[in-house]
Structure 1
Amino acid sequence: NIFGGGAVPLEIPAQALFQFQWTKGWMEGGSSGSTLFDQNKRLVGTLTGGTSGVANCNNSLRTNSYGRFSKHWENNLVIKQRLSPNNASLQFLEGLDPNNNIAANVGVTLISSTVDGCAYSANTPITFRVRNFGSQAQSNIPVTWTVRNLTTNAEQTGSITIGGTLASISTVDITFNANLSSPGVSYLITVTTNLVGDGNTANDQLQGTLTNRNPTVAASNITFSNITSTSMTITFTGGNARNRMVVMKQGSALTIANYPVNGQPYSSDSNFEVGSSIGGAYVVYQGSGNQATVSNLTPNATYFVGVFEYDCTPVLYLISNVPTGSTQVLSIEDKQLEVNLKVYPNPASDFISIELNDNRYSVAEINLTNTLGKSIKTYQIKRESDNFNAKLSLQDIPKGIYILQFNTGKAKTYKKIIVN
């Protein structure tokens, strides 16, 4: 076993394996140590474990694990000592083909910057590497490149002739600038060598794709639902980033002092005042969704909320046009109303019945809203004797999910209603 020399490793390091499942076929027993190569023909893994030897080519449940060579390097000192006795800082080492009989063979082995990010601009440097795979030195090597916007198909093009002499098995790095400034857009980068008389054209071209992840469209449509005396649900529409952060503050509106700082990671917790504090506001949600339920709130208090789009590593936050909203959670009296109010049937189709055994109030207003907070219908009901007892028609209400607010003027509560 390459992780430490024993038959079975005591502990496999984190992210140490490539694992895949066969759709057809299987790995024959005795194949341990066989190699896995990347698109640049560099060894990146060796067969370390998995199932083998079951003679059934249609068995799709067989898996194999390849140990990552980068982890072997750190966990099996024999490899590191023999390949790098001086502890060189090389990221990779190109192999030498002792049977190379192609005199003219030039190709592209690397394109930098082919990862998604937020730092791309109108003058982003892109570096590619050209290698002389052949047995003879080469000079005046023509190279072309294109950068294609995969949304508009617009292309940026360029070319260069590499002067001087490139010895056999040597490399040279070339850098050009490209406009990668459109947020949310993916770009396809293609680099091609065009050596006259090249004896192996299979390695002449290399491509890479990246996406500009700079967030530019803010979240929107903040609404509040399922409000109790100690919790609430916040719903919003996401912008164009892959993630968003919800920041909540009690008692006063958010200011710039409550905005996240670029490059600064934060921790979130759905219990208010447990997540990271930003100037007295607290992070209550981080993720790719559009809803957060927050608890540990103070009865009858008002809370202010902001939603920030963010992406990339290091993290970049969108702090312009930040959507905000506020609402008041229920009081203790509201909580009593929430417990005592009965709404049925739910789901409902034709009508709902409202029952409340409470003689403290004489009238109540019922407001039915959709999940975006838009009022759909309002009802007025009066107490009869010691009870509120009403039957409300839903025949003109479209199917969907609604929030029913029951408000006596002194207390209020909310119920989720499904109309089917």
Structure 2
Amino acid sequence: MIFKVPRGTQDILPSETWKWQQVEKVILEACDVYRYKEIRTPIFEQTELFQRLVGDTTDIVQKEMYTFTDKGDRSMTLRPEGTAPVVRSFVEHKMFGYPDQPVKLFYTGPMFRYERQQAGRYRQFVQFGAEAIGSADPAIDAEVISLALDVYKRVGLTKLKLVINSLGDKECRAAHKEALVSHFNPHIDQFCPDCQTRLEKNPLRILDCKVDSGNPLIASAPSLADYLNEESASYFESVKSFLEDAGIDYEVDPNLVRGLDYYNHTAFEIMSTSEGFGAITTLCGGGRYNGLAEEIGGPSAPGIGFAMSIERLLLAMEAESKIFADEPTLDVYIITLGETARRPGFKLLNELRAAGIRTDLDYMDRKLKAQMKSADRLQARMVVIIGEDEVTEGAVQLKIMADGTQEKVPVGELVEKIIKNTTR
């Protein structure tokens, strides 16, 4: 039987993993500058955590979660997103008691959603996310958005668009919900079964429906902006002011609602405007989630965060022809000729590596010509050749691949010689 990678997942091969490593390096550097600390949560959590915090009317909870019953007859779910586990950890470990607030955290890791595979969208995918929990200051909203944009800019992306909206507080949402129900109710039979269910539970989700997105009733639906109370409107104006202070351009989209129930006040998306990127242009999304910690027994701890797909970040880089510097080349390739040279060659391999020199060795007992071809393929900067004569003399042949020059070097002087050549 031939096994293949599960549908909706992918193998990331060595020819590609170095790109991921470069992205992860950029993320670490940006988070260090912004002073966000890494948190690592389990890949699976209690199912109820996502039902309560993500929302039982969302597509994620209704259709996309990978849920199983463990041997203790407990319902567990592979995490479909990162905010709920981080908030759970924040409450469980009493981070609200830390002297420095807000608590600023970031994570990277696999998420799991059962959805149709598309370009840059998998059933197992990798997200980088950041959360700032414990402050209701609109300036932290602008900081979180700035961090997301900074990561994209650090990898060279320029064709970006930030879209923001205010979802208001509970009072605004209640008034808007009533207006949406009145708007959609007379024609709800025109909508998909999911939207018909959402009408009473959470009509805001109708605006985010992928099936009915072309229905003219969505375009003519009452705007949440018309129902913002003075406090919510003032908060949104402050967020926009801080974005302007940070030199960040934005567009306001009153129909932006995001796909998770826990958002309130600020919601945002970062999109690619690069030609040929694809129909799904969203690279990153996030927003404020005041009240989420209270939902699972914690104290009041307003928060804001975002999540971005690493797969889609790499696609955006490809669309803009942004590439990382070439994968680090091999410093030295050791060629051994004959059995007598094998152990001295292996010993030298370890000495060079201990000195921090990227070194490899032929393990296939090939002839000199075949080993030289291997050194070429690996783009080795230097080749060390050891044969019986070299073992006897306590020396090696050192060849510089760029110009073809070759010289005999005593083994005791080799490390210093190689280091000089690698730092030129």
TM-score range normalised by the length of the shorter chain: under 0.3
Q: When you count helix as a share of all residues, which structure comes out higher?
A: 2
Structure number with greater CO (CA < 8 Å, separation at least 6) is 2
Q: TM-score, normalised by structure 2?
A: 0.20
Q: TM-score, normalised by structure 1?
A: 0.20
Q: When you count strand as a share of all residues, which structure comes out higher?
A: 1
